[in-house]
Amino acid sequence: MRGQRLTEYLIGTGGWSYFQARTKPVLKAYSEHFNFTEVNYTFYKYPSIRMAERWRRTVPHDFTFTVRCHQDLTHRYKLKPVDEAFAAASRIIGICRVLEAPFLHLLTPASYVFDDANTGQARDFFSSLNLKGVRLAWEARAPVTVELGNLMRDFNIVHSVDLSKDEPVWKSDVVYTRLFGKGEHNIYQFTDEELVDIDRKVLKAEARVAIVAYHGIRMNTDALRFKAYKDSGKFIPITAFTGIDSAKTVLQEDARFPSTKAELVKRQGWKVIDLTVDKRVHMSELLSKLPERVYSNVEEVIEELGAVV
């Protein structure tokens, strides 16, 4: 299937607890804006069947969950073919089935290296695992080896990556991307150009399904803007203003003073502003032009920006 004929985009965020909702259950309000969410809760705790059933009832019938595998399997038992690992997998696969989740997402830590021993044990584990129709997606934090790529291909496991940084090691019929961005940890916001580049990589994959899960600190805004772009071909603005006025609006959110230029760039530069009606950039593009000095308040920053921008 050609890239431009993708049959389905699943766009949302990692969890729904940070979604702003005043009058409805948060998940219900979230599902009115997005068609997908990745359940983060299941990485840390096993929800009860009753809880999972309530989640499923809360959303429309065509809403899609994917489930993060509990860390017992990936961090404690390390995908070894032992009874405890199979029990953990069975338990979380049961949650997938209640949620009608087509994908179970595995995350292995950087300490889980893909040497012959680990790769062989994982192969043995997957060979004996009954997935009951659920498909695996795997995000590997350690360097990906040829052996791991072969294992994923052999078991039809989707290679999950952050498309703002990497690309999958093998071409699958599904793209699964968890987007954190290029900042420290999850402190990042995507510009229009970066969102277009992410979509370009999705289209390049010529996949049947694209699962696009935002995880950055502005994940709800990023996901809504990406969805608007896919729906209309246009991006919604970040603020109600452009240029320096947009920068002022964003700085007023949480900028701390007194601050040096370097501190402002570090703490505020990752944010996105509306440079013009049709162009959004990182705040760092403006803040980097400031004179070197200590600033006492937002007004001083804006005054200097007015002189140099």
- Written as six digits, the tokens of 135 are 């498909």
Q: How far apart are CA 125 and CA 123, in angstroms?
A: 5
Q: Is the pLDDT of residue 3 over 80?
A: no
Task: Please provide the average confidence, as pLDDT, over all residues in the chain.
Answer: 95
- Per DSSP bridges, beta strands 272-276 and 279-282 are antiparallel
Cβ count within 10 A of residue 85: 21
- For residue range 231-263, list pLDDT tens digits in order: 999 999 999 999 999 999 999 999 999 999 999
Specify the pLDDT at position 135.
Answer: 98
Q: What is the pLDDT of residues 264-279, one digit of tens each?
A: 999 999 999 999 999 9
pLDDT score of 7? 61
Determine the pLDDT at residue 282.
Answer: 97
Q: What is the pLDDT of residue 173?
A: 96
Residue 67 has pLDDT above 70, yes or no: yes
What is the CATH number that goes with domain 3-232? 3.20.20.410
pLDDT of residue 261: 97
Instruction: State the average pLDDT over residues 7-13.
Output: 92
Q: Return the residue matching tokens 């052996």.
A: 147
Going from N- to C-terminal start, the domains of the chain cover 3-232, 243-308
Residues 6+ apart with CB under 8 A from 145: 114, 119
